[in-house]
Amino acid sequence: MKRSPTEATLKAAYEAAKERYADWGVDPDEALKTLATLSLSLPCWQGDDVVGFEKKSTALSGGILVTGGAPGRARNGDELRTDLDFSLSLLPGKHRVNLHAMYLESEKAIDRDAVEPRHFDRWVAWAKEKKLGLDFNPTYFAHPKALSGLTLSHPDRSIRDFWIEHGLACRRVAADLGRRTGSACVHNTWIPDGYKDAPVDRWAARHLLLESLDRIHKTPADPAVEIDAVESKLFGIGVESATVGSHEFYLGYAVQRRLAVCLDMGHFHPTEDVADKLSAVLLFAPSVLLHLSRPVRWDSDHVVVQDDPVLRVAEELVRIGDWDRVSLGLDYFDATLNRPAAWVIGARAVLRSLLMAMLQPTAQLQELERTGDCTAKLVLVEELKAAPWQAVWDWHCYRNGVPVGASWYESVKEYAKTTLATRN
């Protein structure tokens, strides 16, 4: 891991790869130009195990569970931003950071229905200094009023009203973040609402959720500063039998109300393929927010790796080619790993998958499919699995001034000694 290739070696490998890709009619230079325009939104909650900065002691709820105890967890906003700074420095390209409402910074305790833009002033100042975009999520879990497992669909009107006020407050925050950073903030609503045992009256619960969402989204967002999205879930710990905000519910709601649909890779049955959903959803919904994650048997939010499901999503995105209607976010939290390393592993895996997809002769493959030459298509698909994409990726990293190959991990180990180890 310690040895880094020279510029001459990297350049020679890249030129050789370009010659090979030219045989397929692919221009790696163009692929890298497109890749450089894409931004990933890194989940801030990976850096502190979804603890947040509220002055409270309510444990995680809503089916969220963090396992592991790697040393060096960020304990406040300054430490979390320092870790994000370091992690972003190891990634090629310009990326974003995704916040939850629970990461507000205030001298006194602030309840969820009283969250204001000023509670994120330090995040905005940091983002403007680093020229980063910020995204935002309401936090409908880890709160006394969420312990029943129901929030926006709760039968108690006062509970629903509290969470509706939280949703409205978060929309104001998101719009402010987008306005002040100069980059539209993706505001994504996910709620934990569901039932441990089979409910009798799903209809009533979904009617209540519909009413709550309509109150939150009564005023349309200005797309220049805020993009509203809704996110479904299949099940969670404690809500194994049913979720109120199912995929069908939110798909219908988003299409009818003209919101973005969030597709989280861990929020579907194990045999469902998120990549297959993209072309269908984008025919009807204004836009899609992707939460790239790695479910292991269930929605366990493991760190993204360069596996087949992620590559299939990347291929579908490239083949659709409508980048203006897609937002790319990572969503995972793993305390068994060095936390900055987890950000870098996941982001690099997604970027490499996108590059691999961009380096495919998409037009040629589509033409073979249109003409019914399935044999030639499969031959080419299999041949591409051995294509020299790694040389293109290495050159991309080198040109962007970030470590090539796994050499970035040496920086992480040093950072762990000098920074993470100082945290008790």
Residue 391 CA to residue 221 CA, distance in Å, equals 43
331 is catalytic: yes
In this prediction, residue 103 has a pLDDT band, given cuts at 50, 70 and 90, of very high
The secondary structure of 264-332 as a DSSP string is ETTSS-TT--HHHHHHHHTTTSS-EEEEE-B-SSSS--BPP-S-HHHHHHHHHHHHH--GGGEEEEE--
Question: Is the pLDDT reported for residue 34 higher than 80?
Answer: yes
Question: Rounded to a whole number, what is the largest CA-CA distance in the chain?
Answer: 68
233 is catalytic: yes
| Active-site residue (options: 83, 331, 334, 394) | 331
pLDDT for residue 3? 64
| Active-site residue (options: 299, 315, 316, 394) | 299
| Active-site residue (options: 100, 291, 302, 377) | 291
pLDDT for residue 424? 76
CA dihedral 87, 90, 93, 95 (to 10 degrees): 0
| Active-site residue (options: 126, 163, 190, 389) | 190
| Active-site residue (options: 176, 231, 315, 394) | 231
Residue 340 is encoded by which pair of tokens? Answer: 């900055």
Question: Is the pLDDT reported for residue 2 higher than 60?
Answer: no
**Share above pLDDT 70 across residues of the chain, in percent, rounded to a whole number:** 98
Quick check: 398 and 392 in contact, CB under 8 A?
no
pLDDT in tens, 247-259: 999 999 999 999 9
Domain coordinates in residue numbering, the chain: 1-26+361-424, 39-358
Q: Which CATH number fits domain 39-358: 3.30.450.20, 3.40.640.10, 3.20.20.150, 3.40.1410.10?
A: 3.20.20.150
Quick check: 351 and 394 in contact, CB under 8 A?
no
| Active-site residue (options: 119, 143, 233, 302) | 233
pLDDT for residue 143? 94
291 is catalytic: yes
pLDDT in tens, 277-322: 999 999 999 999 999 999 998 888 899 999 999 999 999 999 999 9
Candidates 143, 120, 116; CA nearest to 62 is 143
190 is catalytic: yes
**Share above pLDDT 90 across residues of the chain, in percent, rounded to a whole number:** 92
pLDDT in tens, 341-379: 999 999 999 999 999 999 999 999 999 999 999 999 999
* Dihedral (CA of 201, 202, 204, 209) sign: positive
In this prediction, residue 171 has a pLDDT band, given cuts at 50, 70 and 90, of very high
301 is catalytic: yes
